[in-house]
Structure 1
Amino acid sequence: MGELFQEAILVSILAGMIRIATPILFAAIGELVTQRAGIWNMGVEGTMLMGAFTAYFIATATGSVWLAVLAAMIAGALVGLIIAFMTVTMRVDHFITGLGINLLVAGLTLYWFRMYIKGRAQPTFDGFDNVAIPGLSAIPFIGEILFDQRLLTYMAFAAVPAVWYLLYRTRWGLELRCLGENPKALDIKGLSVSARQYAAVLFGSVMTGLGGGFLMLGFSDRFLADITAGRGWLAIVALIAGNWMPRGVLAAVLVFALLESVATHVQVLGIDVPHQIFLALPYLASILLLMGLRRQSRQPQRLGIPYFR
């Protein structure tokens, strides 16, 4: 275990933590907005997978990673539109809708992938490179960790204060938070509850699709059927563990990403410790944290409850 505490390894672990956190953070921050509007979207895993597959298809077909990013966001929006229609318009149970979406997307993406390659060698592509921030990236230790990352990584972390400002310093954010607490108050004022919930779900799904796109373009050059590997579920866990607050969500995502980064380095270094232990720790930590927050939860009061006029 002593190898993990060498300076070069510590830098690699922490830099890896930032990269690993990126797709989860995109999804978790998007889901935060969705749940603040009273919609409990359990289809995050499927939405992220759809974004990842779409990014792969467009990247290999066109060679443009930025076009692939745009396509991943659009794919996320389309999945979100289905979720919004089912939960807001049809008032189907939120959990059943999300689980159904996850199963549907898993089957569709695998089918489309097999149709796309048709037995040939899987096409690959060149993904994102790191973008070093001049001056800051030269800072010893910290520079390599924080300021020599992918461009979308900077955007993911910038989204945290942006969403905080949106939720707590704008009229739209106030209306959105009201949806999760007392949507009837907005309805009485003549404001459309469904339109705002649709907007919240679409925003969250676009962010999740973007997370899936980054997972594909920032970590791999080929598609795998289980490439998301539960990261969508981790985003939901991070949201709950973060007590539905932007800074709490960020902290939870970083803890989960750190444990995954450590597990990866344990494997690479050949340390005789089962890496599955580290992969299980985020879930154990979230359970313990939930137990501690049971009396002071900030969960929206109307989360997951369909609104009837």
Structure 2
Amino acid sequence: MSTTVSSRPGNPQPDNAAADTGAAATSAKPVSWKTPVLLAAFGLIALVFFGLLGPNKTASFGISTGSDFFQLPALEVNAFGGGIVLSVLLLALAAYAVYLKTKGRPAPGWLTVTFIVLFVAAFLIWVVGGARTPSISLAGLIAGSVTLAVPLVFGSLSGVLCERVGVVNIAIEGQLLGGAFTAAIVATMTQNPFIGLAAAAVAGAVVSMVLALFSIKYLVNQIIVGVVLNVLVSGVTGFLFSTVMQEDKARFNSPPGLDIIEIPVLSEVPIIGPILFRQSLVGYLMYVAVLVVWVGLFKTRWGLRVRAVGEHPQAADTLGINVNATRFWNVTLGGAVAGIGGSFFTLVAIDSFTKEISGGRGFIALAALIFGRWNPIGAFFAALLFGFADNLQSIVTIIGTPVPSQFMAMLPYLVTVLAVAGLVGRSRGPAASGIPYVKG
């Protein structure tokens, strides 16, 4: 005799139906108010400071440089009017984010990116319009931002390679610093910057091997190992700088630099030319590295294995993938990439090594990795944003902005905090990142 369970009010539901209902309720996660509220707050800030309190002067932005193939007229914008227009657009985007929240839908990625671009434009117009010399080279600002972003891009790519395989790489700062030191001393002793570049990659790989050895084989906490490595590399390079390099600078700390390579005709195209076709060898390698890492991770069998190890190492192990070996070599590769980025400091930016030459950029690269959602392309653009903030604070100080110099000096780090804490949204790193894997 069969039993029928009624679905009328007052009758109990079957256990499996109740379980399904509970699972559905659990899986339907509420959309956070964080992004809409932050966008609205920054939209109001833009309206008050960049719009209503903005200077009624004309801000001029040079597009071409003297060496460009053809000249374009400068872009001139009334600071007050431009601030009002951009602020209204920012508030419209914030209102749309609030509307999506009321419908239970998260703000799409394009909305946040567009908001950031418009906010930066409004801030730039406000700062330049209020300066003693309300004129700035937009081409130089962007090109300089890309140059400053080079070590950040390499550092963030190192983090992508490590975290995608399940290892948190806090030691990016130490890898950059080790690469810078080794490039300087090897290039000086051999008088060959290309050998110094290769030595920098080896130095970064060695630092990463130590990270991999202790965190993968001996299961030491990955965060602790990374912090210790940063302190260790800082101490060792500082000691050798004081006791060796300063004693005989000509022999140990006068590396020949990597010259800027200009691609004929293409390097003379306004804005695009200086960015893409007027770079050092390290700058060109940056673009190649971003493309290769992205293709490798998302378009190859190797990348599928790497992502499988980072998301579900147990499942990858059952498919015959050597989880710990994959992690070890990926971390080593990431260190080599960061080491190349470190060589930029001593072979391109400056002609010698100094203590703490990396200046904490390894941690900003880590922030770019998170802001870029563990994607090489995203990390690249996030690093460009931080490079832009770094370059902007130098330029606006020169043109005489009314903004306090202390605020401008902290601008790159303020952008880092806001990007990671507020504007990342609900991004999620690899599921097994930071979790050691023990077979069996």
What TM-score, normalized to structure 2?
0.66
1:184-263 superposed matches below 5 A: 184-263=314-393
- 1 CA distance for matches of 2:271 and 2:176? 32
1:288 paired to 2:344: no
Secondary structure in structure 1 of the residue aligned to 2:235: helix
In structure 1, what is the equivalent of residue 144 of structure 2?
A: 16
Instruction: Please identify which structure carries the higher helix content.
Output: 1
- 2 CA distance for matches of 1:120 and 1:181? 50
Contact 1:264 1:275 in 2 (8 A): no
Which of 57, 62, 73 aligns to 2:190? It is 62
Gaps of 5+ in 1: none
- 1 CA distance for matches of 2:334 and 2:60? 36
Gaps of 5+ in 2: 1-54, 66-136
- 1 CA distance for matches of 2:337 and 2:384? 18
Contact 2:374 2:429 in 1 (8 A): yes
- 2 CA distance for matches of 1:280 and 1:178? 39
Decide which structure has the larger Cα Rg and report it.
2
Contact 2:156 2:366 in 1 (8 A): yes
In structure 1, what is the equivalent of residue 205 of structure 2?
A: 77
Greater CA deviation, 90-99 or 286-295?
286-295
Residues 98, 10 of structure 1: alpha-carbon distance in 2 compared, 3 angstrom cutoff: same
- Residue type at the aligned position of 1:140: P
- 2 CA distance for matches of 1:235 and 1:278? 20
- 2 CA distance for matches of 1:307 and 1:4? 57
Greater CA deviation, 268-277 or 139-148?
268-277
User: Identity over the aligned pairs, expressed in percent?
Assistant: 37
Secondary structure in structure 2 of the residue aligned to 1:92: coil
Contact 1:38 1:303 in 2 (8 A): yes
Greater CA deviation, 266-275 or 134-143?
266-275
- 2 CA distance for matches of 1:64 and 1:127? 9
Which of 177, 183, 186 aligns to 1:49? It is 177
- How much does 1:63 deviate? 1.1
1:122-174 superposed Cα distances (whole Å, 9 cap, x missing partner): 64233121111122112234323331111221210222121111111111101
- Count of aligned pairs: 308
- 2 CA distance for matches of 1:268 and 1:199? 45
- How much does 1:292 deviate? 3.9
- Residue type at the aligned position of 2:382: A
Residues 90, 124 of structure 1: alpha-carbon distance in 2 compared, 3 angstrom cutoff: same
- How much does 1:104 deviate? 0.4
1:270-281 superposed matches below 5 A: 270-281=400-411
In structure 2, what is the equivalent of residue 32 of structure 1?
A: 160
Residues 130, 118 of structure 1: alpha-carbon distance in 2 compared, 3 angstrom cutoff: closer
- 2 CA distance for matches of 1:48 and 1:167? 23
- Residue type at the aligned position of 1:293: V
- How much does 1:278 deviate? 3.6
Residues 164, 279 of structure 1: alpha-carbon distance in 2 compared, 3 angstrom cutoff: farther
Secondary structure in structure 1 of the residue aligned to 2:410: helix
What TM-score, normalized to structure 1?
0.93
- 2 CA distance for matches of 1:46 and 1:293? 26
Which of 275, 281, 289 aligns to 1:151? It is 281
- How much does 1:200 deviate? 0.9
